Amino acid sequence: MRFWAALFLVVACWNLVPGLARAGEGDRLVILRDAETEETLRRLATPVFKAAGIEPEAVKLIIVKDPSVNAFVAGGPNLFLHMGLLEATPTPEQLLGVIAHETGHMAGGHLARGSEALRNARIETIVGILAGLAAGVTTGHGEMLGAALGGAQTVATRSLLSFSRDQEGSADAAALTYLDAVGVSAKEFLAFMQTLKGQEDIPLDRQAPYLRTHPLTHERMDAVAAHLQRTKVSPDARLGPAFAARHARMEAKLRGYLHAERVLQETKDRPNLEVPALYARALALEQTGQLAPALSAVDRLLQKAPEDPYFHELRGQMLFEKGHVDESLSDYAAAAKALSRAALIRAAYGHALLESTTPNHLDRAISELTAASGLEGETPETWHLLAAAWGQKGAQTNDPVDRGQAAYALAEEANAEGRTQDAKRFLAQALRLLPEGSPTRLRAQDLHMDVNSASHTDE
């Protein structure tokens, strides 16, 4: 289980698309999980969702490990943002404009052409399908054929994700009302459109996919420009310095992650780096396997901000990755305490406690992993770790209830991965072992009903 150890928690999508092998290094079928980046995006998007009358908690924000510029809504209220988009939007206001546009599609109930195919697909499946389309160009076909397939890939991506011209216009119109409602000028949204417009002359296969699924017409840009003339929101109205700082840290993390060599070159022999640059350097050092210098860079960050929970998270994770599990605990504890709502961090702490050599950490591991699964119930890895923790506990106590807890966690894991038959089997075990009326038994009964009704409608 390296998932929890990675900086950007990597949830690979396995065998979800026929013909695609298990995802590995270099494949693009990857969703990135990073507590800080997700929190930044969540804070950015929440006021826009509210302005659109959408329940913010209902929307999943998914970061796709893909360097191309793209954003889309698919398979329900799921907003997918490519890392390339996060990187290509130099200000939080530009990113906000794109989020507002996609929110306009969501609020308008627009159905992309591929909606039927993707309607009930799991998030990993959607990413798998799209990555499969993109990967077709480069895997196994050779350069010549790859070039020939470029057009087909473009058409496939376009037809799956694209909206009608009218829907593009209405998503823009909605985006402008949301930006007005949150008091941010659409000037930066227009700037983003202009940047994309500049790509129209380069070959199709090198253009941002966003440009292909959201064709930029003069009408669209004129409408935004006209709105800027009309609106009461000042052209200088922005998100404020706190967002600028969060955005700078997000960009720094992405740079360190995506362009490690370049970052190392740029920050070499510079003793007085500001926080974002030092953050980028720490991550770049870690990316390139230089853990000792990476740790000392994080220590420098912690000298600047001793309370920063994300620096503690990073330090804990680096130590954990290096095998210093017990040493990672105090950093993880600090991060988990400060960010008690961050499921990823609670789970990472729980994982470290579980792997710790100190035996009395098991109960603490169970409580952290239980908290993490309560905050985010659809993450199979958390359930997997929780099952392992209860399994260890059961081996110590020989108490059938502990084994029942493990079976329930395995059922949740199986259900989160769409393995219905396994889920049913583990639930039967759990219901045999857990005492009548206990909270976990009640949850197991609920899941049992969900699983049975879902498989009934499938068949």
Residues that bind Zn ion (CB under 5 A): 168, 171, 214
Minimum distance of Zn ion from residue 59's CB (angstroms): 16
Q: Between 214 and 346, name the residue whose CB sits nearer to Zn ion.
A: 214
**Sheet with 78-82, edge to edge strand ranges:** 9-12, 30-33, 60-64, 78-82, 71-73
- State phi, psi for 382 to the nearest 5 degrees: -65, -45
Minimum distance of Zn ion from residue 161's CB (angstroms): 9
Minimum distance of Zn ion from residue 221's CB (angstroms): 14
Q: Between 169 and 391, name the residue whose CB sits nearer to Zn ion.
A: 169
Distance, CA of 220 to chain centre: 29
Minimum distance of Zn ion from residue 116's CB (angstroms): 18
Minimum distance of Zn ion from residue 211's CB (angstroms): 11
Alpha helices in 12-139 (DSSP H): 35-51, 83-88, 92-107, 115-118, 123-135
* Amino acid present at 301: L
Which residues are within 8 A (CB) of 433 and not within 5 positions of it... i.e. 6 or more apart? 400, 401, 403, 404, 407
* Amino acid present at 311: F
3-state DSSP helix/strand/coil % of the chain, to nearest 5: 70, 5, 30
Quote the CA–CA distance of 149 and 199 in Å, as a whole number.
Answer: 21
Locate tokens 């098991």: which residue? 362
Closest residue by beta carbon to Zn ion: 214
Q: Between 108 and 391, name the residue whose CB sits nearer to Zn ion.
A: 108
Quote the CA–CA distance of 451 and 446 in Å, as a whole number.
Answer: 9
Q: Between 212 and 214, name the residue whose CB sits nearer to Zn ion.
A: 214
Quote the CA–CA distance of 318 and 202 in Å, as a whole number.
Answer: 41
CB atoms within 10 A of CB 47: 18
Whether residue 47 contacts residue 99, with contact meaning beta carbons closer than 8 Å, is answered with no
Minimum distance of Zn ion from residue 225's CB (angstroms): 18
Q: Structure tokens of 393?
A: 């506990």
Quote the CA–CA distance of 254 and 265 in Å, as a whole number.
Answer: 16
Q: Between 171 and 273, name the residue whose CB sits nearer to Zn ion.
A: 171
Q: Between 169 and 377, name the residue whose CB sits nearer to Zn ion.
A: 169
Q: Between 65 and 105, name the residue whose CB sits nearer to Zn ion.
A: 105
Locate tokens 């960010």: which residue? 339
Minimum distance of Zn ion from residue 234's CB (angstroms): 26
If residue 80 lies in a helix (H) or strand (E), which one and from where to where?
Answer: strand 78-82
Minimum distance of Zn ion from residue 89's CB (angstroms): 15
Q: Between 214 and 315, name the residue whose CB sits nearer to Zn ion.
A: 214
Whether residue 425 contacts residue 392, with contact meaning beta carbons closer than 8 Å, is answered with no
Minimum distance of Zn ion from residue 107's CB (angstroms): 12
DSSP 222-277: HHHHHHHHH-SS-TT----HHHHHHHHHHHHHHHHHH-HHHHHHHTTT-TT--HHH
Q: Between 168 and 286, name the residue whose CB sits nearer to Zn ion.
A: 168
Locate tokens 């920050």: which residue? 267
* Amino acid present at 7: L
Q: Between 173 and 454, name the residue whose CB sits nearer to Zn ion.
A: 173
Q: Between 188 and 402, name the residue whose CB sits nearer to Zn ion.
A: 188
Minimum distance of Zn ion from residue 197's CB (angstroms): 15
Minimum distance of Zn ion from residue 110's CB (angstroms): 8
Q: Between 171 and 409, name the residue whose CB sits nearer to Zn ion.
A: 171
Alpha helices in 376-419 (DSSP H): 380-397, 400-416
Which residues are within 8 A (CB) of 311 and not within 5 positions of it... i.e. 6 or more apart? 298, 301, 302, 305
Minimum distance of Zn ion from residue 448's CB (angstroms): 40
